[in-house]
Structure 1
């Protein structure tokens, strides 16, 4: 009888193991669904907007208790000025590396632009308009990388140096604000770890700007073909293009903050986008206006420095033809490009800190 009972127990063991396994699987599936449900409820609490539903103002209105436009800009400029040696050293190192890797705007490209503007001046266009057009061409050439000397490798190296400048300036700003006295060398050695994550975030930013690029390309093609000669068609197509561009820029607003959040230790790109989206929810337009202000300020900086440089370069090379090879304007444009990256990174980082501190003070008061 004992042998038979043992056999029955042995026969029952596989059935018991299979039932336990099924119970374990069901419990893990239930736990996963519970986590997904909690994440969904948390997301809906943080993001009040619903598709195809009118959101009430009381549900999405969030305060933005930070300094004004001029105050925040002057604060960022004062921080850069107090640590001008460190930031100037960063600009100098990056400019030298860019010259070494031949990813600077070539003098031949600038001379071609200048020749085109001289022909336009001879045809009756004023000198002011030709100077503004030449200034715009140089600025667009630097930030798009279309006029750089060399091939794709040189352009990629220039983009890499630009990203490293952004990370280094953010690292320096964070260290300065916590009371340290960092060196430029420390920033170059210590700030480059999240560069791959930053590339992913910028890739997402470019994807978000694809609708705007398509709208601009379609508008340019219709304008070149003469379809927009009629006023009603011009108004309809122009309005649609402006709307699509505005939607893309509105969509990409949170990604700019993600470029700061990604510099935190152990941060992943999607999590940075998740946090930045929570920060801008309910105040995206006001944050977007701050970014537009920073861009306009940067353009004014370029205009104040580069346009007199263009006039000086034309006058100097008109007196001395033997120095036409000297890249005065490309060099100044290169320095301005890195100065603009530093100014934008410091401004965006300080803006991000002000928003986070304002939210934390509000939560503590509650």
Structure 2
């Protein structure tokens, strides 16, 4: 009997590489988090510079979504506001430029989303290497694109889940618009009620997104499935959502303020270069956002 037991092969178990989460892991404040994430880019600036050059070339080749005449666009906004407030006119033009930058149509729109997904995967792979225990001295952009694309299918599936989590926001906004513009909510009480319903839809979508956002980084681990990544992301963010909201709001405000500081004078004094300046800001924002979010994720899993 003992010999038979010894001859029996050990059962193999396959486990997904789910990272261990340290409960109660201490996270940095927004200033320290920003400094850490920017330090990653600063130490490896050559890689990120060449990444932005390649990404810009692909965007210009495949998307090239530029406004032909920013000056005429500013004139239209100026007529809309009566031409009395130049600061308001330049700010309105800036908002329209941002909307145009992110709303390419047709084949250009498809290429824009594809490039963003591919670029994000390459950046996530590179940032993970740079923030590992044994970071490489240098990386080639080619290697980041080659090595980072293997979880493309699972990454897209997680993106689909995130898009579905926006449905409460979209549905709530549609209902609120129909009720208010259609005259259904005529009294102040009814408008407040439907406004609260819309606010609830916003909060629901926001809670779902916060619960799942780190799955974009977890799913890029070897052997990880979308469901396992979403489950682990929910555990990672449990109890940290208010802290995450503060950090997301800080990131959004910093980008909005800095881009406005750069763009509003550009529109006012060099309108022909405004679109190029906005395009450059968009190139810079992609690695900065991913470095910020990945640093936040590492802190919350206690790495």
Q: Which residue of 2 aligns with 1:104?
A: 64
Equivalent residues in 2 for 1:267-346 (5 A)?
267-314=224-271, 328-346=273-291
Structure 1 alignment gaps of length 5 or more: 1-61, 315-325, 359-366
Paired with 1:131 and 1:300, the residues of 2 have a C-alpha distance of 14
Say if 2:74 and 2:90, in contact at 8 Å, map to a contact too: no
Q: Which residue does 1:168 correspond to in 2?
A: 122
Higher normalized helix content (fraction of residues): 1
Mapped to 1, the partners of 2:266 and 2:140 lie a distance apart of: 31
Q: How does 1:75-224 map to 2 (within 5 A)?
A: 75-101=36-62, 103-108=63-68, 110=70, 113-121=73-81, 123-143=82-102, 145=103, 148=104, 151-178=105-132, 179-180=135-136, 181-224=138-181
1:330–1:195 distance in 2 versus 1, CA, 3 Å: farther
Mapped contact 2:65–2:108 kept (Cα < 8 A): no
Q: 1:353 aligns with which of 290, 298, 301?
A: 298
How many Å separate the matches in 1 of 2:141 and 2:233?
28
What TM-score, normalized to structure 1?
A: 0.70
Question: How big is the alpha-carbon RMSD for the aligned residues of Structure 1 and Structure 2?
Answer: 2.2
Distance in 1, matches of 2:261 and 2:154, equals: 35
Secondary structure of 2:264's match? helix
Could you tell me how far apart the structure 2 residues matched to 1:227 and 1:142 are? 35
Structure of greater relative contact order (alpha carbons < 8 Å, 6+ residues apart): 2
2:4 corresponds in structure 1 to none
In the TM superposition, what is the alpha-carbon distance from 1:64 to its structure 2 partner? Answer: 4.7
Distance verdict in 2 for CA 1:269–1:109, change over 3 Å: farther
Change (3 A) 1:128 1:75: same
Match of 2:211 in 1: 254
Is the CA contact (8 Å cut-off) linking 1:211 and 1:244 kept in structure 2? Answer: yes
Instruction: Provide Cα deviations, 1:122-173, integer angstroms capped at 9, x if missing partner.
Output: x255121222222222223333x2xx3xx42221111111112211221121
- TM superposition shift of 1:283: 2.4
Give secondary structure in 2 for the equivalent of 1:357: coil
Among 216, 232, 245, the residue aligned to 2:189: 232
Distance across 2 between alignment mates of 1:136 and 1:214: 24
Counterpart CA distance in 2 for 1:238 and 1:109 is: 38
Q: Which residue in 2 is equivalent to 1:53?
A: none
When normalised by structure 2's length, the TM-score is 0.83
The offset of 1:287, in angstroms, is 2.2
Aligned length: 278
State the alpha-carbon separation in 2 of the partners of residues 338 and 193 from structure 1. Answer: 23
Distance 1:336 1:161 in 2: 16
Do 1:165 and 1:338's aligned partners in 2 also have CA atoms closer than 8 Å? no
Contact 2:176/2:194 (8 A) holds in 1: yes
CA distance in 1, matches of 2:267, 2:209: 34
Structure 1 CA distance for aligned equivalents of residues 49 and 258 of structure 2: 16
Q: 1:240 to 1:334 in 2, by over 3 A?
A: same
> Structure 1 CA distance, aligned partners of 2:115 and 2:184?
42
- Decide which structure has the larger Cα Rg and report it: 1
Over 3 Å counting, the alpha-carbon distance change for 1:345 and 1:238 in structure 2 is: same
> Does the 8 A contact of 1:104 with 1:334 survive in 2?
no
Corresponding residue for residue 74 of structure 1: 35
